[in-house]
Amino acid sequence: MPHVVTENCIRCRFTECVAVCPVECFHASDEQLFIDPEACIDCGACIPTCPVQAIYEDIAVPEEYAQWVAINAERSSQLPLLIGPQTPLPTAEARRAELGF
């Protein structure tokens, strides 16, 4: 099942997930990433790389994040594809601390 980026990614964008993804399925807004459910091959490689536990397999998304399945499908179709890792946002370390990671 496709994987999904949830709200912990907002103001982070460390992009470790993009570095390990074997296909091109991450799309980016100014604040966070989204996974294209059509491109994701469900390898799971991105999950352990995320420093803020933002990524879940869609069947394992916690109830409070359920809306993110549809949000990823919609936003990934509207936003540019991200190729390769990027410099984290300036707010990334503060966001990680705020989330307790």
Residues 38-67 that bind ligand SF4 (CB under 6 A): 40-46, 49-50, 52, 54-55
Of 16 and 29, which CB lies nearer to ligand SF4 in the complex structure?
16
Of 54 and 69, which CB lies nearer to ligand SF4 in the complex structure?
54
Is residue 23 close enough to count as binding ligand SF4 by CB under 6 A?
A: yes
- From the CB of 81, what's the least distance to ligand SF4, in Å? 12
| Torsion 85-13-53-79 (CA) sign | negative
Helices (H), 1-101: 16-20, 68-76, 92-99
Residue 10 contacts residue 86 (beta carbons within 8 Å) = no
